[in-house]
Amino acid sequence: MLEQLKEEVFQANLDLPKHGLIKYTWGNVSVYDPETKYFVIKPSGVSYEEMKPSDMVVVDLENNVIEGDLNPSSDTPTHAVLYKAFPEVGGIVHTHSTWAAAWAQAGLDVPAMETTHADTFYGSVPCARFLTQKEIDDGYEHETGNAIVETFKKRGLKPLEVPGVLLHGHGPFTWGKDEHSAVMNAVVLDEVCKMNLLARQVNPFAEDLPQRVLDKHYLRKHGKNAYYGQK
């Protein structure tokens, strides 16, 4: 079942160490199939050196394993919540990449300070709150997804305009229309976190991008009159 999607998810997971986003097994990628309403995700705790496409696990949106001999990622319930809440999303990535995790530990949003940020994220990348004890007890990973959705609703954010979030004290989730864009957004988020931290060290009073510059760089790639790249 979904053999091609398993191969795609396997390759996308291999992209995480290739881009320096994970160490050991600290990350996962999933992809949603709108026809079956299932998603494919990396198995839990399996090393990238030993992992095979056939190890990928098919799961439904209620976290039931549809196919697979291994346990799915422990973050599976978070992915399921996001796919249900954000129907435009087709791929999700979670990592503990160093620079993004540093901002998550600080509990800070990632402001748009440079055009690299503005090319991908239309404004600050939010940092979601800590979970309560009750939420942890009720289902940590499921409630993590709910906290992300809550953050986007409260701030009026659109998931594909700001395709990522930090979890306070944890790390980043990113997403996109497919696994390729989700991985790319994870790379970009980690890089802009690094840039911002270095910029604030050089100048603690460094300003965020003016809205006019943010608009120009985001909309030239994503707006209805976008002109970046080839047709």
Contact 26, 97 (CB under 8 A): no
Which of 24, 60, 138, 228 does the annotation list as catalytic?
A: 228
| Residues sharing a CB contact under 8 Å with residue 76, sequence separation 6 or more, in sequence order | 30, 41, 57, 59, 63, 141
Which of 55, 119, 208, 215 does the annotation list as catalytic?
A: 119
DSSP 8-state secondary structure symbol assigned to residue 125? B
Positive or negative CA dihedral for 144, 148, 149, 150?
Answer: positive
228 catalytic per annotation: yes
The SS3 assignment for 212 reads helix
Q: Rounded CA gap, 213 and 77, in Å?
A: 37
Instruction: Provide the token pair at 137.
Output: 């007890």
Residues marked active site are found at 119, 228
